[in-house]
Structure 1
Amino acid sequence: MTIDFTTDGAIAVITLNRPEAYNALDLAHLRALSDAVARFEADPSLRVAVITGTGKAFCAGADIGETLPLMKENGTKSLPPTIMRGQTCSKPLIAAINGLALGGGLELALACDLRVAGSQAKLGLPEIGLGLIPGWGGTQRLPRLIGGGRAVEMILTGRAIDAAEAERIGLVNKVVPDGEVLAAALDTARLISEKSADAVRFAREAMQKGFDIPLAEALDLEAALEDAALQTPGFNDGLNAYREKRRAHKNKS
Structure 2
Amino acid sequence: MNDEGFTNIRYEKRDAIAVITITREQALNAIDTRTSQEMYRAWCDFRDDESLRVAILTGVGEKSFSTGMDLVATARGENQFEGGRPVPFGGFTKRLPIYKPIIAAINGYCLAGGLELALACDIRICTPDARFGLPEVRWAIMPGAGGTQRLPRAIPQAWANYMILTGEQIDAETALRIGLVSHIVPKEELMDRAMQIAGIICERGPLAVRAAKEAILRGMDMPLDHGLAFEDLLFTRLFASEDAKEGPRAFAEKRKPNYRGR
Q: Same fold (TM over 0.5)?
A: yes
Aligned to 2:159: 150
Task: Indicate which of 21, 32, 39 corresponds to 2:45.
Answer: 39
Counterpart secondary structure, 2:13: strand
Counterpart secondary structure, 2:71: coil
Structure 2 CA distance for partners of 1:250 and 1:236, relative to 1, 3 Å = closer
Aligned to 1:2: 8
Aligned-partner Cα distance in 1 for 2:82–2:14: 34
Q: CA deviation at 1:250?
A: 5.2
Task: Indicate which of 174, 177, 180 corresponds to 1:171.
Answer: 180
Contact 2:246/2:259 (8 A) holds in 1: no
Counterpart secondary structure, 2:237: helix
Deviations for 1:180-229, whole angstroms, at most 9, x for unmatched residues?
Answer: 11111111111111111110111011111111111111111111111111
Aligned-partner Cα distance in 2 for 1:48–1:186: 10
What is the RMSD computed on CA atoms of the aligned residues? 1.4
Aligned-partner Cα distance in 2 for 1:67–1:27: 9
Aligned-partner Cα distance in 1 for 2:152–2:60: 28
Aligned to 2:144: 135
Task: Indicate which of 54, 65, 73 corresponds to 1:58.
Answer: 65
Aligned-partner Cα distance in 1 for 2:139–2:161: 17
Counting aligned pairs with the same residue, the percent is 42
Aligned to 1:76: 82
Aligned to 1:106: 115
Q: What is the identity, as a one-letter code, of the residue corresponding to 1:201?
A: R
Aligned-partner Cα distance in 1 for 2:167–2:37: 27
Aligned length: 251
Confirm whether residue 48 of structure 1 aligns to residue 54 of structure 2: yes
Structure 2 CA distance for partners of 1:216 and 1:188, relative to 1, 3 Å = same
Contact 1:14/1:36 (8 A) holds in 2: yes
Unaligned runs of 5+ in 2: 1-6
Aligned-partner Cα distance in 1 for 2:131–2:245: 44
Unaligned runs of 5+ in 1: none
Confirm whether residue 239 of structure 1 aligns to residue 245 of structure 2: no
Confirm whether residue 12 of structure 1 aligns to residue 18 of structure 2: yes
Q: CA deviation at 1:178?
A: 1.4
Contact 1:195/1:252 (8 A) holds in 2: no
Q: CA deviation at 1:169?
A: 0.3
Aligned-partner Cα distance in 2 for 1:5–1:239: 36
Aligned to 2:235: 226
Q: CA deviation at 1:147?
A: 2.2
Contact 1:27/1:67 (8 A) holds in 2: no
Aligned to 1:122: 131
Aligned-partner Cα distance in 1 for 2:122–2:84: 25
Q: CA deviation at 1:70?
A: 5.2
Q: CA deviation at 1:115?
A: 0.4
Aligned-partner Cα distance in 2 for 1:168–1:249: 37
TM-score of the pair, normalised by structure 1: 0.95
Aligned to 2:3: none
Deviations for 1:114-163, whole angstroms, at most 9, x for unmatched residues?
Answer: 10101111111110100111110000000000021110001111111111
Confirm whether residue 215 of structure 1 aligns to residue 219 of structure 2: no
Contact 2:243/2:259 (8 A) holds in 1: no
Aligned to 2:209: 200
Which ranges of 4 or more aligned residues in structure 1 deviate by more than 3 Å? 67-71, 250-253
Aligned-partner Cα distance in 1 for 2:259–2:113: 35
Contact 1:193/1:251 (8 A) holds in 2: no
Aligned-partner Cα distance in 2 for 1:237–1:252: 11
